[in-house]
Structure 1
């Protein structure tokens, strides 16, 4: 234990002795969390839409006024014809167009549920679908059926949508918990991957080999400091999410830290494998980047895993971020109970065991 304590203190001192290094350990992850929170917005604000009003009645005018009063729309452009509509979308002057048929006002006056047409710019598919949702919520209060496919819907049919866990569809409530998993990947891999490679490049790795330290003690000493940094960064991220951005945390703190601890072990295993396989810090940086990109892209944060090809969904089963994204979202927003946490935690434990075992084997092999 005395030797183990010495190597851990030595590694912590190596990380913290440089003032610039201390800033790099904490400032970039926190900055990434803040920047990505606003950059990865799922809201569409100040959208420009067009209106082709062939009805010209009181009801269509009132509905256009309601839409223009929404903070989500910056400009409402009046269109004179279908050709004008097509030209405006082709030139990307508008993202969507609303079409009021001639019978729109007449149907509402007779007590029927009228229908409007919505034409969307499919080149901006995500944003246009969000805009269609905005228009749909506004028209629902006027007993109007929005029709994005320009085909008639059954009159009188209305739907009531209830959003569980995020009633106001606040994108920060969704993105910020997930970013804890994503930013932890960057911090966990980059710090760990540089560890052994830095020793080799500085020429101090040979001193470790002739020291009284055993191989497993050196390995544990290399892993404990980045694990502690990851846990500290996770605590900072949790505080920022709840105190600064007011994201509700409804789950158990014990389960959160347990999940974070296992997740960091899995990432550190990957980072140590990269570090043990590298001879220079440049190789370690490239190797960590090579591992980092698929971990992030296959986590389910950027795109749902269910939308990926079957073979790629199988690949995601070995991705630790896949499980931690589910855990952190569930613990933040819906108070995920213990049994559901364990369903995601046991695969994460297996991945951590596999990555740590592989990195230990390679580390031992490179020392012989």
Structure 2
């Protein structure tokens, strides 16, 4: 019993020492928490795939009532802004090349006559495909306006109509899908960097040798180095969570306890990777370099930017050693879907396995690296 009390007393002293190292400098306190706040706001406003503004141009060769009515619906939609009215088809290429318009609509000369005779009349839509997602969204919006014009003004409708209901994101705002992912993604960067610098800092300052001759075991050192970054990661996740809930007012449908249980598992896995880097690196510069080299692949293979299912099979297999993939999936499903533990339990398995493998590796490296 006394040995266990002494064990926890040693650990408590080491954890306090790590917290003092992290927080004693006022500038460090700002650097640890201000980026999470700023990045969450920037992502919320800037990183969106919603198309809310489309510059377009028109080549109206008909100049009839129906052409005017169709273009009026586009102009009145609040999304489309006409930047040019063309006189001939030769002007289209220059307009698209100079990015003065995302789309160019061409209405043929016989458009009015064909509609008056009850015939169908095609219109041409040319979109700038250099940004394929924006171009596809703009084309879909134009198609929706044309379909609405057909039904309301020409009384022409298809025999089968599709009625769409969107679950978990009724307004189809891309922000709703991105922001819950940031609860894990943004906190990972600081957590990984803090844990990667912990041992490298002491090795560079010459205090790690002194730490090894104290009564601390490698397990003491590993836990003492791991707890402060985990705590910082949870604080950053909490800041981002509050911004999502109260600033962007995205409703949370799931359990807060389950979300934090998942975040703890995620941070433990990330800290295990960071401590392994720290034990390998000879100095802080190496630790920072290894961390920055690792962060980008972790982000790209996480599903934050592109779905994992769309990746080549070999890269999809590589995502199983990426804790961020499962942290993002868990945060999204719990936050938006209201998923229960049974539905996200398979997200915990890879994170726990990564932690079980990386933390003992870090402890072994602490003992044998010097």
Q: Decide whether the 8 Å contact of 1:52 with 1:98 is kept in 2.
A: yes
Post-superposition offset of 1:359: 2.1
Q: Which residue of 1 aligns with 2:294?
A: 291
Q: Is the Cα contact below 8 Å between 1:140 and 1:158 reproduced in 2? A: no
Aligned counterpart, 2:34:
27
Q: Distance in 1 between matches of 2:24 and 2:202?
A: 15
Cα deviation digits, residues 135-190 of structure 1 (max 9, x gap) = 2333332237xxxxxxxxx9666543332221212222122111222212211111
Whether contact under 8 Å (1:249, 1:333) holds in the other structure is yes
Equivalent residue for 1:270? 273
The DSSP-based 3-state class of the residue aligned with 1:75 is strand
Q: Does 1:257 align with 2:260?
A: yes
Quick check: 183-192 or 48-57, which moved more?
48-57
Aligned length: 358
Asked if the contact 1:320–1:351 (Cα under 8 Å) also holds between the matched residues in 2, the reply is: yes
Deviation at residue 228 of structure 1 after TM alignment:
0.9
Q: CA–CA distance in 1 between the matches of 2:126 and 2:279?
A: 55
Residue from 74, 80, 86 that aligns with 1:67: 74
Decide which of 224, 229, 233 is 2:227's aligned counterpart.
Answer: 224
Q: Check the 8 A contact 1:113/1:155 in 2, yes or no.
A: no
User: What is the match of residue 151 of structure 1?
Assistant: none
Matched, 1:41 2:44: no
- Provide the rounded CA distance (Å) in 2 between the counterparts of 1:231 and 1:314: 28
Uncovered stretches (5+) of structure 1, i.e. residues with no partner: 145-153
For 2:129 and 2:235, locate their aligned partners in 1 and report how far apart those are by CA, in whole Å.
Answer: 43
State the shift of 1:242 in Å.
Answer: 0.2
Gaps of 5+ in 2: 1-7, 152-156
Of 92-101 and 19-28, deviating more is 92-101
Query: Residues of 2 paired with 1:109 and 1:233: CA distance?
Result: 63
Residues 40, 243 of structure 2: 8 Å contact kept: no
Residue of structure 2 in register with 1:199 after alignment: 202
Q: CA deviation at 1:65?
A: 1.5
- Matched with 2:349 is 346
Structure 1, 4-13 or 124-133: larger mean CA deviation:
124-133
Residue of structure 2 in register with 1:281 after alignment = 284
Residues 222 and 362 in structure 2, CA contact (< 8 A), matched pair in contact too:
no
Give the conservation status (yes or no) of the 8 Å contact 2:218–2:364. no
> 2:319 maps to what in 1?
316
> 33-42 or 244-253: which moved more?
33-42
Distance between the aligned counterparts of 2:165 and 2:58, measured in 1?
29
* Deviating more after overlay: 52-61 vs 188-197: 52-61
C-alpha deviations, 1:105-156, integer Å up to 9, x for none?
Answer: 4565567776433211112222212222332333332237xxxxxxxxx966
- 217-226 vs 79-88, which deviates more? 79-88
**How large is the RMSD of aligned CA atoms in angstroms?**
2.2
Structure 1 window deviating more from structure 2 (209-218 vs 302-311): it is: 302-311
Deviates more, 1:246-255 or 1:115-124: 115-124
Encode CA deviations 1:211-231: one digit per residue, 9 max, x unaligned: 111111011000001111111
Is 2:334 the partner of 1:327? no
> 1:324 Cα deviation (Å)?
1.4
Pick closer, same or farther for the CA change 1:103–1:325 going to 2, 3 Å.
farther
- Aligned partner of 1:81 among 85, 88, 107: 88
Once residues 264 and 101 of structure 2 are traced to their aligned partners in structure 1, the CA distance between those partners, rounded to angstroms, is 48
**Pick from 11, 14, 19: which aligns with 1:7?**
14
Secondary structure in 2 aligned to 1:303?
coil
Does residue 106 of structure 2 align to residue 99 of structure 1?
Answer: yes
Partner of 1:185: 188
Alpha-carbon distance change, 116 to 333 in structure 1, aligned in 2, over 3 angstroms: farther
Matches within 5 A, 1:138-149: 138-143=145-150
- Residues 15-45 of structure 1 deviation map (CA, whole Å, 9 limit, x = unaligned): 1111111111111222222222222121234
Structure 2 partner of 1:119? 126
